[in-house]
Amino acid sequence: MKRTVPLLISAVTGFALIGTAFIPSFVDWGNDAMAWFNLLAAFAFILGGGNLLKMQLQKISAQQAGWGYAAVTLIAFFTTLFVGLAKVGVHPNAKFPEFSWSGNYLEEGSAFWWFFEYIFTPLSATMFALLAFYISSAAFRAFRAKNTEATILLIIAVIVLLGRTYASEWLTGGLPNTPIFGEGGITYSDFKLDHLSQIIMDDFTTPGMRAIKIGIALGVASTSLKVLLGVDRSYLGSDQEA
Amino acid sequence: MLKILQNLDRRWIFLLMFVAVAVPLIMGTTFPETPSAQVTAVFDAVDNLPDGSNIFMALDYDPASAGELQPMASAFTRHCALKKHNIYFMTLWPPGINMIQGSIDILNEEYPETYKGKYGTKYVNLGFRAGNEGVIKLVVEDLKKSYTTDIHGTNLDNIPLTKNLKNIQQVDLLANVSAGYPGSQEWVLYGSSPFDIPTVVGCTGVQAPIMLPYIPDQLTGMLAAIKGAAEYEQAIINHYPELAKNPKAKEGLVRMGPQLVAHVLLISLIALGNVIYFLERRQGTT
């Protein structure tokens, strides 16, 4: 029973959603199913918060290495949760001045807004910006022309890196638009770095990605059918649990 | 010399990268950009619409990617404002709400005659909904099943712009700026492609190869990374020269300076690393 009911829910919902693409009267059913899904997704935030609490509290109680960071995470989590839920520093909505909680929690000047603007935003940007430093170190130490494949990759990387900046104009902007051999055909300007970069993107990257995507789509379709028909039941957990 | 380079402390490389990015950024160096075919397609998609058309703008990114994507979102907003388009904002990312506010500030501060005090008639902020592609599926078929109210809690039936809007198949253009999942690919797969909604996107450099296969059938055009943003800004300035006086309208162009120097530094480091590698090989140390 524990497995049959979830299997039925999955199959009915899944086939209803597939049906929306082909049968107009299924569209409303599909939309209802998506509305339920979106409600469940909102509850996932609570599960996520609970999981964060559990993992960090375990680290602190076991005094694992770096447990101080877990404490910082929890303090930040509860402080943010409090200022957001309590709407600290938020003015009441002009339409409902008698209700002190009627204002927007993201109102400019509120505690939550301040946290976002002056803590979350600079920290997020800093973490992402650090990539530039690690990439430069990796470029120096790891990007070596050790074999033919690595050499090809290296040449393509240089073309794309330069082709995506004004350096391409400096280095190859002067190439004339005249044919190399006789009339018509390839011209010198075809070898401009930005043009070569575009050729790599259009004639190599795009077909490659298209092939990968078609492969993924076929894989997703077959896996989905296995799940909907009950052949693949791994998402329900092991047999022992059932 | 070889020994010094072999044992080079990586903090010197970090310092070089810092200088490579900081100096052009501080100097505000810009270079002329020529809009590519993809960027021109994006520009035309917005510009060829009659004034006052309806644009659905989904800003699916967070502050981590704002350095790369904010110039695109700002350029989309300015271009729509110049055309006096009606704008519907929404996001699939929780921090996206603050990113939307940045665009709303542009509307109110730079185009007050068209947008200030006209919330609900010229623009509306639907805010965030959880559910990723589930939200997309609903807004393209039955908007009010996903959004019953806007971000301020006002019922959509009481807002002039949304009162008669059943779904976003009724809008003239879908513009998405995205940093990953859920984002551009999901909007194309579940939104624009099944219902033929004209769509343009702006995305990070790492997403660009993923989105390329959808152009031009499912996707009208794409702004890829800061280069795409800079070219789009240039395209807008070329057609609306009054924008050239606004330094905020050149965020992407200004960021191409650090990109140029950083890319040249990267290539130099790769070349230097390979010189060391071949010298080591000749000496038989690797």
Give the contacts of A86 (CB within 8 A, at least 6 positions apart): none
Q: Cα–Cα distance between A1 and A242 in angstroms, integer?
A: 9
Cα-based torsion angle of the residue sequence A167, A170, A172, A174 in order, rounded to the nearest 10 degrees: 160
Give, in order, the Cα–Cα distances in Å from B159 to each of A170, B52, B70, B165, B218. 53, 17, 28, 10, 31
Residue B153 has what pLDDT?
A: 86
Is the Cβ of A1 closer than 8 Å to some Cβ of chain B? no
Contact: A206, B213; criterion CB under 8 Å? yes
Residue A29 has what pLDDT?
A: 85
| CB < 8 Å to A162, chain B | 263-264, 267
Residue B31 inside a domain? The answer is no
Is the Cβ of A51 closer than 8 Å to some Cβ of chain B? no
Q: Cα–Cα distance between A85 and A95 in angstroms, integer?
A: 20
How far B98 CA lies from chain A's nearest CA (Å)? 8
- A:165-224 residues touching chain B, CB 8 A cutoff: 165-167, 169, 198, 201-202, 205-206, 209-210, 213
Q: Which of A93, A141, A198 is closest, CB to CB, to B273?
A: A141
Residue B131 inside a domain? The answer is yes
Residue A122 has what pLDDT?
A: 95
pLDDT at B183 over 60: yes
Residue B24 inside a domain? The answer is no
Domain boundaries, position B141: 36-253
The mean-pLDDT minimum among A96-100, A132-136, B195-199, B200-204 falls in A96-100
What is the CATH number for B182? Answer: 3.40.50
Is the Cβ of A151 closer than 8 Å to some Cβ of chain B? no
Tally of CB atoms within 10 A around B109 = 11
Residue B274 inside a domain? The answer is no
Residue B72 has what pLDDT?
A: 96
Residue A22 has what pLDDT?
A: 87
- Is residue A31 within 8 Å of residue B190, measured between CB atoms? no
- B:177-196 residues touching chain A, CB 8 A cutoff: 194
Q: Where are the domains of chain A?
A: 1-85, 91-141, 143-229
pTM: 0.91
Give the SS3 label for residue B58.
strand
pLDDT 10s digits, B97-125:
999 999 999 999 999 999 999 999 999 99
Number of folded domains that form chain B = 1
Instruction: Determine the residue of chain B that is closest to A38 in CA distance.
Output: B131
Cα-based torsion angle of the residue sequence A41, A46, A51, A56 in order, rounded to the nearest 10 degrees: 140
Burial A115-136 (b: 16+ CB within 10 A, else e): bbeeebbeebbeebeeebbeeb
Share above pLDDT 90 across residues of chain B, in percent, rounded to a whole number: 89
Tokens of A170: 């400096």
| CB < 8 Å to B17, chain A | 132-133, 136
Residue B41 has what pLDDT?
A: 96
| CB < 8 Å to B24, chain A | none
pLDDT 10s digits, B61-85:
999 999 999 999 999 999 999 999 9
- B:115-134 residues touching chain A, CB 8 A cutoff: 129-132, 134
Confidence category of residue B164, pLDDT binned at 50, 70, 90? very high
pLDDT 10s digits, B221-264:
999 999 999 999 999 999 999 999 999 999 999 999 999 999 99
Is the Cβ of A137 closer than 8 Å to some Cβ of chain B? yes
Contact: A133, B8; criterion CB under 8 Å? no
DSSP state of B214: G
Residue B171 inside a domain? The answer is yes
| CB < 8 Å to A135, chain B | 266
**Tens digit of each residue's pLDDT, chain A (242 residues):** 778 888 898 898 888 888 888 888 888 888 888 888 888 888 998 999 999 999 999 999 999 999 999 999 999 999 999 999 999 999 988 888 888 888 888 888 999 999 999 999 999 999 999 999 999 999 898 889 999 999 999 999 999 999 988 899 899 989 988 888 877 788 888 999 999 999 999 999 999 999 999 999 999 999 999 999 988 888 887 655 44
